[in-house]
Amino acid sequence: MKRICLIGDSHIAALRLGWQRIRARYPEVEIDFFGGAGGKMKRLRSDKRGALVPASEELRQDILLTSGGLDRIVLADYDAFALVGMGFGLIRLFHLSKFQRTVDMIGTVQPPHLISTEVFQRACMNSLRTCRAVQIAREIRAQSRRPIVLIRQPYYSQEVLRERDRSVWNDAAVAGPKLEAEMERFIAVLEHKRAIKVAPYPEETRVERYFTAPAYASGSIRMLAGFDTLHEVGEYRHMNPLFGERVMELLLPTFGPGFAEVSGETPRLAPTLEEPDRWTSAATS
């Protein structure tokens, strides 16, 4: 039996429900889900004794709910780790592009700051490097050589185009290719230099390249007791159990055969927040 620890924000609801749809096909795999809605995962801390623990009662209650009764993550109990959402994904860079762009990214959006390509690359690198998913991955990697996989935050549903402030999304085709290139640079650092993998994105769920098709977005479930409460009409950030199923099908093979440990010394995930130049140079080397 292989045990997987899956940590995330409210996107964990779709994955948890998606896993329930396919778990019978994987009798040798057991998954514990640990989630916190909104920004609560900022309160997840390492106790420096081999466990991640909630530093607030609100997060503790969310973790109890999503895990089915566990209130701490004992790292030695798991053969592999996955982290979903928590700021990791192209959505984060789209939000960044509202305020900072290069001249070749100008479309209908008029950002307050036009910057050079080099500065933009550094801004993207820093934004992804400091997201909560990567920070938690760093905590795990510091104490474990087990496989770690990041799952990107899903693309917004096309419902986002109904938003009043939707210019950045109408303009997605202009900025998107450059943002994707920066995302791939960052992923290269994680996968090839830091022993962190990134799960493939379920391409069949995408429409117009940067949005999620309605079939995978409508009927999304809130991360509440019972996991049977629908989001309100017009919700565009969260996906449904069918999307979660597709993600989970792609996740398991990403861990590798037999969930082998990272070889050699435990690698350092990333420089501290005070070392941006070393991180950026790693991405370009």
Q: Is residue 111 part of a domain?
A: no
- Distance CA(236)–CA(50), nearest Å, equals 37
pLDDT of residue 187: 96
pLDDT of residue 35: 95
- Distance CA(170)–CA(210), nearest Å, equals 10
Does 260 score more than 90 pLDDT? no
- Distance CA(166)–CA(229), nearest Å, equals 27
Q: Is residue 9 part of a domain?
A: yes
pLDDT of residue 167: 74
Q: Residue 168 has which token pair?
A: 């950045």
Q: Is residue 73 part of a domain?
A: yes
Q: Is residue 123 part of a domain?
A: no
- Distance CA(135)–CA(252), nearest Å, equals 22
Does 263 score more than 80 pLDDT? no
The label of the residue with tokens 């087990």 reads: 146
Mean pLDDT value of segment 164-181: 86
Q: Is residue 166 part of a domain?
A: no
Mean pLDDT value of segment 30-36: 97
Does 253 score more than 60 pLDDT? yes
Q: Give residue 163's pLDDT band: very low, low, confident or very high (50, 70, 90).
A: confident
CB 44 within 8 A of CB 36: yes
pLDDT (tens digit per residue) in 95-150: 999 899 999 888 877 888 899 999 999 999 999 999 999 999 989 999 999 999 99
Give rounded-to-5 percent helix, strand, coil for the chain: 45, 15, 40
Q: Is residue 169 part of a domain?
A: no
Give me the domain span that covers residue 211: 2-88+131-159+183-267
Quote the percentage of the chain above a pLDDT of 90.
71
**Residues facing residue 29 across a β-bridge:** 2
Q: Is residue 126 part of a domain?
A: no
Domain count, the chain: 1
Q: Is residue 273 part of a domain?
A: no
CATH number of the domain where residue 36 is located: 3.40.50
Does 282 score more than 90 pLDDT? no
